[in-house]
Amino acid sequence: MISYAFHRHLRGFIKPASYFLILLLTYYLGYLSAVPKNPPSDTPLHHYSATTTANPLPLPTQPQSSDHYQFQTRCTDPIPPELTRQTILHRIFNGTSPYLGFPQPHIKPLLRQKRIKGWGSNGAVFKNLIHKVRPTTIIEIGTFLGASAIHMAELTRELGLNTQILCIDDFRGWPSLPNQFRDIKMVNGNSMLMYQFMQNVIEVNATESITFLPFSTGSTLERLCEWGVFADLIEVDAGHDFHSAWSDINRAYKLLRPGGVIFGHDYFTVADNRGVRRAVNMFARVNGLRVKPDGQHWVLGSF
C-alpha cells in the first residue's frame, strides 16, 4: 500500500518537473540563438587593411552592434593610380575599351548627338575640391547622363591633370524615368540611358578619362575595395533614400586615399532630412568627422 501511494506521489512530482525542465531548456536554446553575432563593442569596426597607408581622416570611434555598421570587407592594398584604367578595362570589359565601335549602327538612330541633364552638376563644389585635391582618380557614384562627370573631366583637363574618372551607375535610373525622359528611348524594356551617356562622353572627347562601371553601387564598391582601386575624390549621388546613401557612403569611404575627400549632392532638400542628410550626419557622428555644406552639396572631413 505504502509503495503504491509513494509511486503515485512520485509520478505526480516527476510530470510537472519534466515540464519545467523542458521549458527551461527551450528558454536556454532560444537565448543562445538570440545572442548577437556582431563583434563585441570594443572591437574597432574600421575597414582598412593593416598594410594600407593610414587614412588621415579619423577612424570610427563609436563601434556599434547593429547591422547598420557591418561594412567590414577589408580592402586590398591600393594599386598605383596609373593602373586604375587598365585594371577596370581588364576586370570588366575583357581588356577592351567599351567605347570601341560605338555606337553600333542599330543604336545610332536612337541617340541624340548630345543630351545632358544633371542636378547641381556644375556646382562650385566641384571646382573647389578639384583645385584643392588635384585628384588622380575620381569615383562618381551615380552618373545618369554624365553631366557632373563631364564637368569634372573638363575641370581636371583645365588644370592639366591626368585624372581618371570612374562612373558607377546601373544606368536604369528609376521606375518613372521612361515617363519623365521620353526622349531617352527604350528597346525591349532596356533604357538607352547608358548609350546616351557614352555618346555624351564621346561628344566631349573624354573617353580616355571617363570610364564607367555599369552595375549596382553596392556590389561595385565592394569589388573596387577587393581590387585595390582607390580614389582621391569620391562623389556620392546615387540612391537618395537613407539606406542607399548610408550604404554608399560607408562603402565609398573605405576607398579614399590619404588626403582624399568624399562629398555628395542633395544635403538640403526636404526629403533628404530622412534620406541623404540623415545618412551623412550619422556617418559624420560615428566617424568623428564634420560636415561642411557647399551649396546643395555636403563635404565630409576633419576640418
Ligand X SMILES: C[S@@+](CC[C@H](N)C(=O)[O-])C[C@H]1O[C@@H](n2cnc3c(N)ncnc32)[C@H](O)[C@@H]1O
Give the interface with ligand X as residue ranges (CB under 6 A).
Answer: 118-119, 121, 142-144, 147-148, 169-173, 216-217, 237-239, 244
The C-alpha cell at 30 is 532560444
Closer residue to ligand X, CB minimum distance, 39 or 173? 173
Closer residue to ligand X, CB minimum distance, 173 or 295? 173
Closer residue to ligand X, CB minimum distance, 131 or 172? 172
Question: Whose CB is nearest to ligand X?
Answer: 118
| Residue 116 C-beta: closest distance to ligand X, Å | 8
The C-alpha cell at 89 is 578595362
Cα–Cα dist 142/119, whole Å: 11
Q: How many residues does the chain have?
A: 303
| Residue 282 C-beta: closest distance to ligand X, Å | 19
Contact status, residue 150 vs residue 158, Cβ threshold 8 Å: no
| Residue 80 C-beta: closest distance to ligand X, Å | 27
3-state secondary structure at position 229: coil
Q: Which of 216, 207, 274, 218 is nearest to 242 (CA)?
A: 274
Q: Are strands 256-264 and 164-168 parallel, antiparallel or unpaired?
A: unpaired
Contact status, residue 166 vs residue 91, Cβ threshold 8 Å: no
Q: Which of 182, 183, 186 is nearest to 171 (CA)?
A: 186
| Residue 182 C-beta: closest distance to ligand X, Å | 17
Closer residue to ligand X, CB minimum distance, 169 or 272? 169
Closer residue to ligand X, CB minimum distance, 46 or 117? 117
| Residue 296 C-beta: closest distance to ligand X, Å | 10
Q: Are strands 297-301 and 290-294 parallel, antiparallel or unpaired?
A: antiparallel
The C-alpha cell at 267 is 544635403
Closer residue to ligand X, CB minimum distance, 170 or 203? 170
Half-sphere exposure of 96 (CA within 13 A, CB side): 6
| Residue 127 C-beta: closest distance to ligand X, Å | 14
Closer residue to ligand X, CB minimum distance, 52 or 152? 152
Contact status, residue 240 vs residue 272, Cβ threshold 8 Å: yes
| Residue 86 C-beta: closest distance to ligand X, Å | 23
